[in-house]
Amino acid sequence: MDFIKLELDGPIAVLTIDRPKALNALNRQVLTEFSDAIGQVAANKTTRALIVTGGGEKAFVAGADIAEMAGLSQAESTAFAELGHRVLDSLEGLPIPVIAAVNGFALGGGTELALACDFIYASEKAKFGQPEVVLGVIPGFGGTQRLTRIVGRARAKEIIFTGEMIDAAKAKEIGLALEVLPAAELMAHCKKVAGNIVKRGPLAVAQAKRVIDAGADLPLQDANKIEREGFAKLFGTGDQKEGMAAFVAKRPPEFKGN
């Protein structure tokens, strides 16, 4: 892959969009390589958490590649949007936790990519935004929908309608980013959180992610039914037996994901 770096280091994987000369902008090749990398992560059964970040010091992903998009026809733009949606849906659909380490500009497709992760940590120099209206278009990789679900309808409209950037502190204030850290500490923090996650029961973490996402847009009673079913499915697994036996014996559990 030319523009994607994938490091598989034990249970934690790090995926880097590495096109710094173009501020890691998303074109069709980057999206295709990103999709291939997600497939590798999904196929690697030892990976229990994924961190996504951008190469270089300036950008996470500064957006889609405007030079490539400028000449697209309606049919071609439909195909481009469909590609972006497929890739981000596959990222969001990974059964393992995905952490966005936003180390710089995350604009347009960059914000949309971060939103497809389970949660976002940002460096102090990070900038977020959906500036597509400045170009005469709208977000095309899920920004109108995922951003609304995270920050609320009015705030999402403000961000999308104005096309203005918000800094990391504002992103935390509105619930877009969980924490803001010095740039030099961002990746270490993400790896620390991922390290805590991978110590937990992997079947339980995957089930928790599935239940939260499946129930998020359902009426409470329907969502709680999904939770009950997910809770019950874990009983009888090796991880459930090990976790509870370890608790009773006052020792650390040794989860095997079965």
Alpha helices in the chain (DSSP H): 28-43, 66-69, 74-92, 109-115, 143-151, 153-162, 168-173, 186-197, 202-215, 220-233, 238-249
> Is 112 tagged catalytic?
yes
- Say whether 200 sits in a helix, a strand or coil: coil
Q: Which of 47, 128, 27 is nearest to 87 (CA)?
A: 27
Q: Where do we find the tokens 């999402």?
A: 156
Residue from 57, 92, 124, 132 carrying the catalytic annotation: 132
Q: Is the Cβ–Cβ distance between 224 and 230 less than 8 Å?
A: no
Nearest Cα to 176, choosing from 196, 208, 148, 197?
Answer: 148
**Separation between Cα atoms, residue 230 and residue 235, nearest integer Å:** 9
How many residues in the chain?
Answer: 258
Which residue among 57, 92, 112, 185 is the active-site one?
A: 112
Rounded CA separation 112/224 (Å): 28
The residues that bridge with 127 in the sheet, in sequence order, are 105, 167
Let me know if 7 is a catalytic residue: no
**DSSP-assigned states of every residue in 206-230:** HHHHHHHHHHTTS-HHHHHHHHHHH
Report, as residue numbers or ranges, the catalytic residues.
112, 132
